[in-house]
Amino acid sequence: MDFSIAAILAQDGITSGAIYALLALALVLVFSVTRIIFIPQGEFVAFGALSLAAIQTGKFPHSASLLLAFGLLCLGKEIYAQLRSKQPVNAKALALSAGKLLLFPLAVWLLARNVNAQEWPLFAQVLLALVIVVPMGPMIYRLAYQPLAEASTLVLLIVSVGVHFALTGMGLVMFGAEGSRTTAFSDARFELGAMQISGQSLVVIAVSALLIAALYFYFERSLSGKALRATAVNRLGAQLVGIGTTQAGRLAFTLAAAMGALCGVLIAPMTTVYYDGGFLIGLKGFVGAIVGGLVSYPVAAAGALLVGLLESYSSFWASAYKEVIVFTLIIPVLLWRSLSSKHTDEDEE
């Protein structure tokens, strides 16, 4: 291995590491706010990428129908909750949720059905794909997790596995078994010494870095970001000072879905994405998140970068064992974590 090969591999590793970093951050965010280990994170990657691919090939993205179905189910749940509560029916709240859960998905569905998005500029296509996929995040939270918000981490994990399988199955129905690829954001290539840097990988790295910076400012500066952090530190305390944990959970899921779908849109031109392909990508983000102990954002991002580099170099040295090497990373990390952290009794029931 000479310097140029090492440099190309490093560039490759950083590009995939940036993707894993976004997913790792989403996992940390969801876990710290809701204590849910969000296994279906990868499904948003696949949905985002495949919806965009469908839009670009001029087909109707069936994920819009799924969005409509989720919206209807959520609305049904809202109405049922309203009817069961002892208080008089709150018409205003009901109208609001009807707008959010019925009219908005319906508008998206009609838009996706009737416009010829194939001719749109790439940016608008990406936006349409995101509008279809991102609202699924809070809807999935409403349907699967919100009734169990106070359950133990284990129960939430089991629900996550169930949601993962359900979404993978729906992915197969919506997008078919074969993978898809989308057009690149940029065909530009830059020569840097012996190295060729593709415009696409620069876009990936730039978007990831930008998003990470945006998240930082969101958590540090904005009120809702601070509320999310407060919920992460202490759910009960946050509730006592008037932060709705349900709203916090919904917000966390929206962000996670947005980051997942964005990852999908970013990788779709570089690789073929399958209906079930998001899972492995998400799993690598998970390894990064574990390095950060599922609590620390910067360490999780660094861990994800490490995973990307490790993957790229091991694909050169021992391609047959690449996956093994990447996932074995989790063992020394867990060992170090269990030895270095002080064990405290969790105040779970």
Q: Which stretch binds another protein (CB under 8 A): 31-39, 96-104, 221-229, 263-271?
A: 263-271
At its nearest, how many Å lie between another protein and the CB of residue 320? Answer: 4
192 makes contact with another protein (CB under 8 A): no
Are 261 and 130 in contact by the 8 Å Cβ rule? The answer is: yes
At its nearest, how many Å lie between another protein and the CB of residue 75? Answer: 30
16 makes contact with another protein (CB under 8 A): yes
Are 225 and 218 in contact by the 8 Å Cβ rule? The answer is: yes
| Angle of CA points 52, 327, 195, to nearest 5° | 60
Q: By C-beta, is 9 or 243 nearer to another protein?
A: 9
Question: String of b and e for 76-101 (b: at least 16 CB within 10 Å)?
Answer: ebbeeebeeeeeeeeeeeeeebeebb
Beta bridge partners of 36: none
Three-state DSSP state, 190: strand
Using CB under 8 A as the criterion, what x/- string covers residues 215-254 for binding another protein? ----------------------------------------
Q: By C-beta, is 2 or 347 nearer to another protein?
A: 2
Rg (CA), the chain: 21
Q: Which stretch binds another protein (CB under 8 A): 5-13, 113-121, 219-227, 235-243?
A: 5-13
Q: Which stretch binds another protein (CB under 8 A): 67-75, 128-136, 156-164, 266-274?
A: 266-274
Q: Which stretch binds another protein (CB under 8 A): 64-72, 106-114, 273-281, 298-306?
A: 273-281
Are 106 and 68 in contact by the 8 Å Cβ rule? The answer is: yes
Sequence-ordered list of residues with C-beta below 8 angstroms from that of 347, at least 6 positions apart, any chain: none
Nearest to 171 by CA among 49, 335, 315: 49
193 makes contact with another protein (CB under 8 A): no
Q: By C-beta, is 34 or 314 nearer to another protein?
A: 314
Using CB under 8 A as the criterion, what x/- string covers residues 303-332 for binding another protein? ---------xxxxxx-xx-xx---------
Distance (Å, rounded) from C-alpha 96 to C-alpha 81?
A: 15
Distance (Å, rounded) from C-alpha 8 to C-alpha 15?
A: 11
In the list 277, 288, 292, 303, the residue contacting another protein (rule: CB under 8 A) is 277
Using CB under 8 A as the criterion, what x/- string covers residues 162-191 for binding another protein? -------x--x---xxxxxx----------
Per-residue DSSP letter, 221: H
Give the binding site for another protein (CB under 8 A). 5, 8-9, 12, 15-16, 19, 169, 172, 176-181, 198, 267, 270-272, 274, 276-277, 280-281, 312-317, 319-320, 322-323
